[in-house]
Structure 1
């Protein structure tokens, strides 16, 4: 079977929440604790999605202001519904942020950098909208290793169909490791660059609970699953069920690791 094109677009908020949003919401506070920013800062959330990181900023950082930016109208609608007037949300791309120079003190991006077509341009934009001495920080899933929720899926997909190997997110997104992240930030001219792992435990009641979000069609893995004919999808499901470790009660506990990075302008 030949490989199929994947959808890296994220448009529908509710399927995203079931697939990745719930784990994103647990990683975000760990990221903010690691950043350790004082109260009153002006925050800019680049690629804010459904508002997981913006929500955590409001809950944990006593910000002076929060502005979320995302190209997806579906995601922005969900973010506005959840956060209302507590934060401002703007439509825009990471490579052309709709903000003035120096508009933010802390420019952050959660689980987005690897999906940005022109990362150097986006990092340059983040530097532009940061105040002098401001902080630029981000985190991305560790697709090749400890983001087990997704890695097990692709390992099973490749076992069933070796031609799917180029679609494996661990291969597609080489940025998502600390060495590559550091290189990108240093190349962008940021100083005091450092990285850290952020781990949460993803618990599922059973295999169906784990499998169901892959049928939502949002993101590369679900898009691949839903592109398959029924018999191929059934084979993938069986291979994945055999691969994922389960406890005697049928529940599944997996690590969801993100790599965080920070630098200064």
Structure 2
């Protein structure tokens, strides 16, 4: 994992290069709660290949390894610093790489599951990210996205403030917007559940399936 000389011009990389050493401690409740909610809606089978898109410090993969030790895990994130934290906590069997959700550095039909937790509101081109996730999924592969839900007033307020004052943040989406995006990119069996983890954070977890090859 090599540092990108252009990272200081990318607001997401700039923000998380600064936050990486403190991230797990500062956001421990939020991380633990959203990971647990995602796991509650997710089944990983033995020997499946799983990509964590926007894996950050590797907290989700760390939890999933205990639940599915025979699965093969990969993590991708734009921040070298966040991946360095992940590398220290994860075994060498987990493949970590620097990259963008817009152009995944993986071959077509490489994964059984693609997961993204707490990263979708950073994606500058969410439709392209979904398209890329669909490309790397095998037929009948599953896409799972957990992120803030714009349907909640508290999240709409946070979204507005962050769009004004934080260049790393892009935007949040509601259930209907997320459903349309997933369906427009050719995914099937779309289901989205929204919930709150406390008085502030309103979340949603979306699940969708890539169709079987003809």
Place the TM-score, normalised by the shorter chain, in its bin. 0.7 to 0.9
Deviation at 1:105, TM superposition (A): 0.2
Whether the aligned pair in 2 keeps the contact of 1:94 and 1:116 (CA below 8 Å) is yes
For residues 6-54 of structure 1, give each alpha carbon's deviation from its aligned partner in whole angstroms, at most 9, with x where no partner exists. x544223133324435412322122122123333321000111111221
Alignment equivalent of 2:164, drawn from 160, 167, 182: 167
CA distance in structure 2 between the partners assigned to 1:23 and 1:102 by the alignment: 32
Please say which structure displays the higher CA radius of gyration.
1
Runs of 5+ unmatched residues, structure 2: 1-10
Which one scores higher on RCO, CA 8 angstroms, separation ≥ 6?
1
Using the size of structure 2 for normalisation, the TM-score is 0.79
Query: Secondary structure of the equivalent of 2:31?
Result: helix
Runs of 5+ unmatched residues, structure 1: 1-6, 159-163, 202-253
CA distance in structure 1 between the partners assigned to 2:122 and 2:144 by the alignment: 16
CA distance in structure 2 between the partners assigned to 1:101 and 1:147 by the alignment: 38
Match of 1:110 in 2: 117
Match of 2:16 in 1: 10
Using the size of structure 1 for normalisation, the TM-score is 0.65
For residues 54-93 of structure 1, give each alpha carbon's deviation from its aligned partner in whole angstroms, at most 9, with x where no partner exists. 1222122345200000110000000001113241111111
Whether the aligned pair in 2 keeps the contact of 1:30 and 1:198 (CA below 8 Å) is no
Mapping of 1:9-158 within 5 angstroms? 9-11=15-17, 12-142=19-149, 145=152, 154=158
Alignment equivalent of 1:200, drawn from 197, 200, 210: 197
Alpha carbons of structure 1 residues 168 and 63: separation in structure 2 relative to 1, 3 Å: farther
CA distance in structure 1 between the partners assigned to 2:46 and 2:162 by the alignment: 45
Alpha-carbon RMSD: 2.8
Whether the aligned pair in 2 keeps the contact of 1:57 and 1:63 (CA below 8 Å) is no
Query: Secondary structure of the equivalent of 1:84?
Result: coil
- Greater helix share, 1 or 2? 1
- Kindly tell me the number of residue pairs found equivalent between the two proteins: 195
For residues 238-265 of structure 1, give each alpha carbon's deviation from its aligned partner in whole angstroms, at most 9, with x where no partner exists. xxxxxxxxxxxxxxxx453321101011
Whether the aligned pair in 2 keeps the contact of 1:68 and 1:89 (CA below 8 Å) is yes
For residues 88-141 of structure 1, give each alpha carbon's deviation from its aligned partner in whole angstroms, at most 9, with x where no partner exists. 111111111111111110011111112111112211111111111100111112
